[in-house]
Amino acid sequence: MTPDRIRREVSAWLDANWRVDRPLVEWRNILLEGGWAAPHWPEEWYGRGFTLDQTAVVARVFRERDVVPAAQVGPRGLASETILACGSDDQKRRFLRPILTGEHTWCQLFSEPGSGSDLAGLSTRAELKDGKWIVNGQKVWNTSARHADFGLLVARTDWDVPKHQGISYFLLDMRQPGVEARPLRQMNGHQSFNEVFMTNAVVPPEDLIGGEGNGWHVAKTTLSFERRGFSRRVRGSSLDGRKQGPIYEEYEEEIRIATEPYTWYPQREGRVDLVLPRARETAAINDPATRQEIAKLICLYAGAKLASDGAEARRKAGTTEIIPAGSIGKLAASVIARQASHVHTMISGADAMLSGPDSAADGIIAEVLVSVPAISIAGGTDEIQRNIISERVLGMPKGYRADQGPFRDIKRNG
Amino acid sequence: MQTEFSKEQQLLRDIVSRALREKSPATAVREQMASDRGYDPEIWQELCGDAGLAGVHVPVAYGGAGGGAVELGIVAEEMGRTLFCGPWFASAVMAGTALLEAANEPDWQELLPGVAGGSTIATLVLDDLNGPAGVGGSIRAAGDGKLSGTAAMAVDAHVADLLLVTASGAGGLGLHAVEGGAPGLTVEPLQVVDPTRKLSRVAFADVPARRVGDVTAGTLDRIWDRICSALAHEMIGGAQHLFETTVNYTKERFQFGRPIGSFQALKHRCADLAVEIEIARALTHHSARCLDAGAGEPYAASMAKAATADAYMSAARAGIQLRGGIGFTWENDTHLWFKRAKGSEVLFGTPAIHRERMMTMLEGAA
Ligand SMILES: Cc1cc2nc3c(=O)[nH]c(=O)nc-3n(C[C@H](O)[C@H](O)[C@H](O)COP(=O)(O)OP(=O)(O)OC[C@H]3O[C@@H](n4cnc5c(N)ncnc54)[C@H](O)[C@@H]3O)c2cc1C
Supply the CATH number for residue A354's domain: 1.20.140.10
> Is B267 close to A390, i.e. CB distance below 8 A?
yes
Please state the separation of Cα A120 from the chain's center in Å: 20
pLDDT on residue A391: 95
Nearest residue to B20 via CA among B117, B94, B86: B86
Please check whether residue A389 touches B, CB under 8 A: yes
How much distance in Å is there from the Cα of B56 to the middle of ligand 1? 50
Q: Residue range B93-97: average pLDDT?
A: 98
A189 belongs to a structural domain: yes
Query: A134 near A127, Cβ under 8 Å?
Result: yes
How much distance in Å is there from the Cα of A102 to the middle of ligand 1? 29
Co-location of A275 and A355 in the same domain: yes
A138 belongs to a structural domain: yes
Domain ranges within chain B, ordered by starting residue? 7-117, 122-215, 218-363
Q: What is the ipTM score, two decimals?
A: 0.95
DSSP-derived secondary structure letter, A19: -
The number of folded domains in chain A is: 3
Q: How far apart are CA B120 and CA B241, in angstroms?
A: 30
Give the SS3 label for residue B131: coil
Co-location of A273 and A161 in the same domain: no
Angle, helix A322-348 to helix B264-293, in steps of 10 degrees: 80
End residue of a domain, out of A65, A83, A101: A101
DSSP result, B252-263:
H-EETTEEGGGS
Please state the separation of Cα A332 from the chain's center in Å: 16
How much distance in Å is there from the Cα of A86 to the middle of ligand 1? 25
Query: A320 near A311, Cβ under 8 Å?
Result: yes
> Is B3 close to A310, i.e. CB distance below 8 A?
yes
Please state the separation of Cα A211 from the chain's center in Å: 24
Q: How far apart are CA B62 and CA A222, in angstroms?
A: 55
pLDDT digits (tens, 9 = 90+) for B260-314: 999 999 999 999 999 999 999 999 999 999 999 999 999 999 999 999 999 999 9
Peptide bond connecting B106 to the previous residue in cis, omega within 30 degrees of 0? yes
pLDDT digits (tens, 9 = 90+) for A333-385: 999 999 999 999 999 999 999 999 999 999 999 999 999 999 999 989 999 99
The helix or strand, by DSSP H or E, that contains position A182, with its residue range, turns out to be strand A179-183
pLDDT band at A241 (very low <50, low <70, confident <90, very high): low
Mutational pocket test of ligand 1: of A117, A327, A371, the residue with most ligand atoms within 8 Å of the beta carbon: A117
Nearest residue to A335 via CA among A343, A323, A346, A325: A343
Domain hosting residue A171, numbered range: 106-214
Q: Which residues of B touch A393 (CB under 8 A)?
A: 271, 274
Nearest residue to B341 via CA among B238, B198, B243: B238
A308 belongs to a structural domain: yes
> Is A291 close to B272, i.e. CB distance below 8 A?
no
Please count the other Cβ atoms lying within 10 Å of the Cβ belonging to residue A158: 17
Which residues have C-beta atoms less than 6 Å from ligand 1?
A 108-111, 116-117, 141-143, 193, 374, 377-381, 383-384, 387
Q: How far apart are the first and last CA of chain B?
A: 31
- Contacts by B133-138 with C-beta closer than 8 Å and gap 24+? B135/B166, B135/B173, B135/B215, B135/B220, B136/B166, B136/B167, B136/B168, B136/B173, B136/B215, B137/B168
Residues in Cβ contact with B1 at an 8 Å cutoff, skipping those fewer than 6 apart: B289, B290, B293, B295, B296
A387 belongs to a structural domain: yes
Co-location of A126 and A41 in the same domain: no
Supply the CATH number for residue A200's domain: 2.40.110.10
A318 belongs to a structural domain: yes
Q: How far apart are CA B55 and CA B62, in angstroms?
A: 9
A169 belongs to a structural domain: yes
End residue of a domain, out of A214, A233, A254: A214
Supply the CATH number for residue A38's domain: 1.10.540.10
Atom of ligand 1 nearest to the CA of B268: 43
A34 belongs to a structural domain: yes
End residue of a domain, out of A69, A101, A133: A101
Q: Which residues of A touch B315 (CB under 8 A)?
A: none
A243 belongs to a structural domain: no
Which of A299, A320, A323, A338 to mutate to probe the B interface, most B CBs <10 Å?
Answer: A299
Co-location of A95 and A112 in the same domain: no
Q: Which residues of A touch B288 (CB under 8 A)?
A: none
pLDDT digits (tens, 9 = 90+) for A135-154: 999 999 999 999 999 999 99
Query: E strands of A13-149, at which residues?
Result: 106-109, 125-129, 132-140
Q: Which residues of B touch A298 (CB under 8 A)?
A: 303, 358, 362
- Residue A137 zone, left/alpha/beta (φ > 0; ψ -120 to 50; rest): left
Nearest residue by C-alpha to atom 13 in ligand 1: A141
Q: How far apart are CA B351 and CA A92, in angstroms?
A: 52
Task: Give me the residue from B258, B307, B352 closest to A303, CB to CB.
Answer: B307
Q: How far apart are CA A331 and CA A329, in angstroms?
A: 5
pLDDT on residue B222: 98
pTM of the shown model: 0.92
Nearest residue to A319 via CA among B4, B327, B239: B4
Query: A24 near A247, Cβ under 8 Å?
Result: yes
Task: Give me the residue from B262, B307, B356 closest to A299, CB to CB.
Answer: B307
Q: Which residues of A touch B283 (CB under 8 A)?
A: 299, 302-303, 306
Co-location of A389 and A269 in the same domain: yes
pLDDT on residue A315: 64
Architecture per CATH, domain B7-117, reads as Orthogonal Bundle (1.10)
pLDDT digits (tens, 9 = 90+) for B56-81: 999 999 999 999 999 999 999 999 99
Q: Nearest CA to CA, how far is B329 from chain A (Å)?
A: 25
Question: For the domain with range B122-215, which CATH number is right: 2.70.98.10, 3.40.50.300, 3.10.530.10, 2.40.110.10?
Answer: 2.40.110.10
Q: Name the CATH topology of B218-363.
A: Butyryl-CoA Dehydrogenase, subunit A; domain 3 (1.20.140)
Nearest residue by C-alpha to atom 9 in ligand 1: A142
> Is A394 close to B247, i.e. CB distance below 8 A?
yes
* Max Cα-Cα span within chain B: 75
How much distance in Å is there from the Cα of A118 to the middle of ligand 1? 8
Query: A307 near A332, Cβ under 8 Å?
Result: yes
pLDDT on residue A242: 59
* Mode of pairing for the β-strands spanning B122-125 and B162-169: parallel
Co-location of A305 and A381 in the same domain: yes
Burial of A151 (0-12, 13-18, 19+ CB in 10 A): buried
